[in-house]
Amino acid sequence: MVHVVILFCVCLCKLAGVFAKTGEVESVLGDSVILNSGLTEIMDDDLILWRFGYNKTLIAQIDATTDSMAVHDDVLDGRFRDRLKLDDQTGSLTITNITTQHNGHYQLKINSVIKNFSITVYVVNVSRVSLSWYKGNSLLSSISVSDLSISLSLPLEVEYQDKNTYSCVINNPISNQTQHLDISELCHRCP
């Protein structure tokens, strides 16, 4: 009786692999996207296949039985060239510097288990950029422009004995970046 139950469980697990799991991923033009395999490690008998599009063009694979791994980034007019990174520990696929050509359906097949992903890449028109200097949490100066064809600059005047940390913040409607400036590190022995 115990052997029958174990056999039933093994058959049930194999049947469960026929059903696809779906993941929808949204990204902004130029970002990186990771399609997670869900594995923490690859087993010795795993065959991992990544496919793209309705024609299911093979773009990456890992065959653990032959200890081989390949990225086929030259297919489909080279739209994936130098953009695919395959994790040899988990089988997850990273697409770097994503473009609208990468919109679409991706299929991951691990042995008999299929998982589907859909990527939508958005192009965002940034309408306004601002550049600001902060001393601690206090705003010192700021400039904003809507004309993105010009270069921004915002001078900062400090004295060399100043022990404060300054922050330069640049932002637009979708993101921001901060760079910290420590005068004592920058100017060790200023005259």
User: Among residues 67, 87, 122, which one ends one of the domains?
Assistant: 122
For residue 46, being part of any structural domain is answered with yes
Whether residues 108 and 138 share a domain: the answer is: no
Whether residues 134 and 87 share a domain: the answer is: no
Q: How far is CA 115 from CA 24, 70, 89, 155, 158, in A?
A: 11, 19, 18, 52, 56
Highest mean pLDDT (candidates 7-11, 116-120, 148-152): 116-120
Whether residues 159 and 92 share a domain: the answer is: no
Domain interval for residue 53: 18-122
Whether residues 115 and 139 share a domain: the answer is: no
Compute how many other C-beta atoms are within 10 angstroms of the C-beta atom of residue 95. 24
pTM above 0.85, yes or no: no
Whether residues 29 and 103 share a domain: the answer is: yes
| Three-state secondary-structure class, residue 154 | coil
| 153-176: b (≥16 Cβ within 10 Å) or e | eeeeeeeeeeeeebeeeebeeeee
Q: How many domains does the chain have?
A: 2
User: Among residues 87, 122, 157, which one ends one of the domains?
Assistant: 122
For residue 111, being part of any structural domain is answered with yes
- Secondary structure of 86-130 in HEC code, one letter for each residue: ECCCCCCEEECCCCHHHCEEEEEEECCEEEEEEEEEECCCCCCEE
- Give the chain's end-to-end CA distance (angstroms, integer): 88
**pLDDT per position as a tens digit, 155-179:** 887 766 667 788 888 887 666 788 8
Pairing of strands 68-71, 176-182: unpaired
Give me the pLDDT at residue 84, please.
92
Question: What number is the average pLDDT over the span 112-127?
Answer: 80
Q: Measured over all CA atoms, what is the biggest interatomic distance in the chain, rounded to whole angstroms?
A: 88
Pairing of strands 176-182, 21-28: unpaired
**pLDDT per position as a tens digit, 47-87:** 999 999 889 999 999 999 898 999 988 888 888 999 999 99
User: Among residues 80, 101, 122, which one ends one of the domains?
Assistant: 122
76: left (phi over 0), alpha (psi -120 to 50) or beta: left
The number of angstroms, rounded, from the C-alpha of 40 to the middle of its chain's C-alpha atoms is 18
